[in-house]
Amino acid sequence: MSTLELKSIEKTFDQTRVIPGVDLQVKDGEFVVFVGPSGCGKSTLLRMIAGLDMPTSGDLLIDGQRVNDVGAADRGCAMVFQSYALYPHMTVYDNMAFGLENAKVPKAEIEQKVRSAAALLRLDQLLARKPTQLSGGQRQRVAIGRAIVRNPKIFLFDEPLSNLDAELRISMRSELRELHRRLRATMIYVTHDQVEAMTMADKIVVLRAGRIEQIGAPQVLYEKPCNTFVAGFIGSPRMNFLPAELVRACPALAAAVPAAAKQIGIRPEHWVPAPAGQGLALTVAGSEYLGAQRLVQARLPDQTPVELLLPGDRNDAPQDVIHMTADAGNVHAFDSNDQRL
């Protein structure tokens, strides 16, 4: 159980400033997800927290104590990698016990810890197997078990589900959430997948080019993204961005467009049919039938492409003109600097 604080953390590799400056506080027991595009510095941040990389400047605090000069082995962080990093010649039991044996933990205590972690992860029947005799999901659970037996202050996960197939990824998400609930541990989880971030996090940290763009609960990021980057990154299908002057000319939407607005954001799931002559006139280009919903591609009069997630029983055909609006609460306005108004 631990808190974590990053104060003006910077990281430069050679001449390149990969992390220009990050300030962050993580509360005891929080499940925090770092999300952002590939190369934005997620792994670098995590490695600095773990003690595998040194910050160029700034302070790292665990439970209020500065740990910059504390080695990785003594920081009390356990990291789980995408690649599992299991020893192929060792059994599941030995893979989980290895770190404790190195630390000269008494044998009986090791056995108790390994068996209890194995039970938690439903690996108890597999302790005698080698990694090659396990499925991808089971291997990842062994890697997580190896972290659990160390009883770390902070768990660090670096894209741990990326090598699993889609179905398994979804079930592992809820397993990890359940694990968090049971262990009540502080966890930091890195992913480039915004759906993973939305479904798992207590608190999401959105990163771009080594900077924090926004920190907030999933619902806050979805409902009130602070700029166009977060607005476009969080939510699937992606938010539509429309020229403000065009939306301002539409009677049903004009009141939702502030004077300083440059772009208007409307999510595909927020379009609703407008009364005749009141909405935006959209020309249908095509659609994908998804069952309960139909994802319609259309264009504004100025040819700006937009997507609409409409009820599945609609049968809009290419070249149809449909008139659409959105509730004022679902209309996002951004200024000329891409900031939310």
160 interacts with, out of Mg ion, ligand ADP, none, CB within 5 to 8 A per kind: none
Distance separating the N- and C-terminal Cα atoms of the chain: 39
Residue 18 contacts ligand ADP per CB under 6 A: yes
> Closest approach of Cβ 39 to ligand ADP, in Å?
4
- Pair of tokens at residue 253: 């939407």
Stretch that binds ligand ADP, among 36-44, 55-63, 66-74, 317-325 (CB under 6 A): 36-44
* 3-state SS class at 149: helix
User: Of the candidates 211, 251, 222, 239, which has an alpha carbon nearest to the alpha carbon of residue 307?
Assistant: 239
Work out how close the CB of 208 gets to ligand ADP at its nearest, in angstroms, rounded to a whole number.
Answer: 10
> Which of the stretches 39-47, 116-124, 194-202, 266-274 binds ligand ADP when contact is defined by CB under 6 A?
39-47
Complex with ligand ADP: residue 56 or 278, whichever CB lies closer: 56
**Among the listed residues 184, 176, 142, 146, the one whose alpha carbon sits nearest the alpha carbon of residue 159:** 176
Give the shortest CB-33-to-Mg ion separation in angstroms. Answer: 13
Instruction: Give the 3-state secondary structure percentages of the chain, helix then strand then coil, rounded to 5.
Output: 30, 30, 35
Check if the beta carbon of residue 64 is closer than 8 Å to that of residue 27. Answer: no
- Nearest distance in Å: CB 33, ligand ADP: 13
Stretch that binds ligand ADP, among 38-46, 103-111, 166-174, 243-251 (CB under 6 A): 38-46
Residues 53 and 141: their CA atoms lie apart, in Å, by: 25
Count CB atoms within 10 A of the CB of residue 64.
8
Q: Does residue 38 belong to the site contacting ligand ADP (CB under 6 A)?
A: yes
Question: Contact between 191 and Mg ion (CB under 5 A)?
Answer: no
DSSP letter for 90, please. Answer: S
Which residue from 269, 295, 301, 264 is spatially nearest to 283, judged by alpha carbons? 301
For position 43 contacting Mg ion by CB under 5 A, the verdict is: yes
95 binds, among Mg ion, ligand ADP, none (CB under 5 to 8 A by kind): none
Based on the shown chain and the rule CB under 6 A, indicate whether residue 274 belongs to the binding site for ligand ADP: no
Q: Which amino acid is at 183?
A: L
Interaction of residue 43 with ligand ADP, rule CB under 6 A: yes
Instruction: List, as one string, the DSSP characters of 46-73.
Output: HHHHHTSS--SEEEEEETTEE-TTS-GG
- In the list 4, 24, 26, 42, the residue contacting ligand ADP (rule: CB under 6 A) is 42
Element of type H or E holding 155:
strand 154-158
15 binds ligand ADP (CB under 6 A): no
Instruction: Give the contact letters, 92-121, x = binds to ligand ADP (CB under 6 A), - = no.
Output: ------------------------------
Name the DSSP class of 257: S
| Contact residue for ligand ADP among 35, 41, 113, 332 (CB under 6 A) | 41
Quick one: tokens of 182?
């049971």
Return residues touching Mg ion (CB under 5 A).
Answer: 43
Return residues touching ligand ADP (CB under 6 A).
Answer: 13, 18, 36, 38-44
